[in-house]
Amino acid sequence: MAITRRELLRTAGVVAGVAAIPANAATPAGPAAPSPPGTAAPGPTELFDVPDFERAAKGQMSPMAWDYLTGAAADELTLRWNHEAYERLRLKPRVLIDVSKIDTRVQLLGRELPFPILLAPAAYHRLFHAEGELGVARGAGAINATMVVSTTATTTIEDIAAVATGPLWFQLYVQSDRGFTRELVRRAEAAGCQALVITVDTPVLGPRYRELRGKFSLPPGIERANLKGLAAATGSHRPTEQSMYSAMLDPTVTWRDIDWLRSLTKLPVLLKGILNPDDADRAAQAGVAGILVSNHGARNLDTAPATIDALPLVVAKVAGRVPVLVDGGIRRGTDILKALALGANAVLIGRPYLFGLAAQGAPGVTRVVNILRRELEMAMALTGRTNIASIDASVIWR
Ligand code: FNR
């Protein structure tokens, strides 16, 4: 999206439409008692960046939901690395370039996006705000951001599509019942989804101790709406110490299933959860339309590398055959600039938009994406890059 110099000069550009931290939001003294999601009254404090939204979100949900949202696997080392790896990369400014116009548009899968930020699939949005996925769809639609709807959404893909004004993609967890899986793909197509994202990094869950300690379970009335009718998957998501396999994750899925899925649909098929460059090579050979470098927000295999560390290796191996996207740990526009510099065609954010949803509902989703977009525009201007194509590895300080 092109912006004018005047717009860029507006303080941080993220001030317009600022809403307030709910009165019961976390304070420096510690979190206040949570109220039911999405019900708190606005308070006096303004939210300017993603960390502000994170603090505000914490006060808006139960400790169980907070642990589910922010937790990761085992010692959560990969969770930390996802952030630290971005912090370690430094940017190289460039001066005396006309940056009066900044253009963040990108082409992806034959379509134009106004900016290279998509909303990653995440389960159970209604845990975080009463509007749940509908709020995310409305918030994303307001700025034409692409929302990737999770198989484990708490609202059906049809109901989400009914309110969505922006593009939707569908994320698929292949089900043991392949007939049901085929039906899910058909439903996503019928709902107008533009791409199918198959998550391939979760044959089993990782050891998520915060979920165990917090006795995670879906509250009454919150369910996996897309999986209704599938006996194995309608039970409450309740991790136990003994369980490794999950009824709704098929551990037998292999490359043959990817071929099968590609034969089922005309939608572009992307694989999400690739870190190993050899897997990326195989995926490109298998004819997928794109690769998402992801470690599932560090929720599965702890001590897997930060995604931004894996990205350049994947990009080198893929060698331009298919687009490469990345998620994990993105909290700043500068993070997005670094990901693009290291070869990503676009990025996805997970927890940040859920912080926006929890803090302010649909407008909070819009604002979080706008904040990141504006931070990206500023970082581009300060490194002398006026469009996405001009962002390359020379923007990284080496
Ligand atoms: C996820 N993620 C995820 N991925 C997926 O393919 N299907 C899913 O249903 C979910 N569910 C989910 C729930 C929650 C609460 C989180 C935080 C994450 C992973 C998600 O798509 C993405 O890879 C990460 O969230 C990206 O990392 P950040 O941006 O959260 O750091």
CB 117 within 8 A of CB 372: yes
Is ligand 1 within 6 A of the CB of residue 76? no
Helix (H) or strand (E) holding 366: helix 362-382
Q: Provide the number of structural domains found in the chain.
A: 1
For atom 29 of ligand 1, the residue with the nearest CA is 350
Helices and strands (H and E) in the chain: how many: 14, 14
For atom 18 of ligand 1, the residue with the nearest CA is 122
Is ligand 1 within 6 A of the CB of residue 59? no
Assigned domain for 23 exists: no
What pLDDT, on a 0 to 100 scale, did the predictor assign at position 241? 63
Is ligand 1 within 6 A of the CB of residue 383? no
What pLDDT, on a 0 to 100 scale, did the predictor assign at position 155? 98
Query: Strand pairing of 20-22 and 42-46?
Result: antiparallel
Q: Which domain holds residue 190?
A: 84-395
Assigned domain for 128 exists: yes
Assigned domain for 138 exists: yes
Q: Which two tokens stand for residue 345?
A: 């065609």
Task: Choose which residue among 299, 348, 354 to substitute to test ligand 1 binding: the one with the highest number of ligand atoms within 8 A of its C-beta.
Answer: 299
DSSP track, 240-290: -SS--S-TTS-TT--HHHHHHHHHH-SS-EEEEEE--HHHHHHHHHTT-SE
Q: Which residues sit opposite 326 in a β-bridge? A: 293, 347
Assigned domain for 50 exists: no
What pLDDT, on a 0 to 100 scale, did the predictor assign at position 257? 98
Closest ligand 1 atom to Cα of 330: 29
Q: What is the CATH number of the domain that holds 213?
A: 3.20.20.70
Assigned domain for 40 exists: no
List of E strands, the chain: 2-3, 20-22, 42-46, 102-103, 106-108, 111-113, 117-119, 147-149, 168-172, 196-199, 269-274, 290-293, 324-327, 346-349
Assigned domain for 259 exists: yes
What is the pTM (predicted TM-score) of this model? 0.90
Cα-to-centroid distance, 297 and ligand 1 (Å): 5
Is ligand 1 within 6 A of the CB of residue 154? no
Assigned domain for 44 exists: no
Assigned domain for 321 exists: yes
What pLDDT, on a 0 to 100 scale, did the predictor assign at position 45? 60
Is ligand 1 within 6 A of the CB of residue 328? yes
Using CA atoms, how far apart are residues 367 and 71, in angstroms rounded to an integer?
24
Closest ligand 1 atom to Cα of 295: 23
Using CA atoms, how far apart are residues 140 and 147, in angstroms rounded to an integer?
7
User: Is 296 annotated as catalytic?
Assistant: yes
For the chain (length 398 residues), average pLDDT per consecutive 10?
Answer: 43 35 34 47 71 97 97 98 98 98 98 98 98 98 98 98 98 97 98 98 94 92 94 62 82 97 98 98 98 98 98 98 98 99 99 98 98 98 98 98
What pLDDT, on a 0 to 100 scale, did the predictor assign at position 235? 57
For atom 14 of ligand 1, the residue with the nearest CA is 122
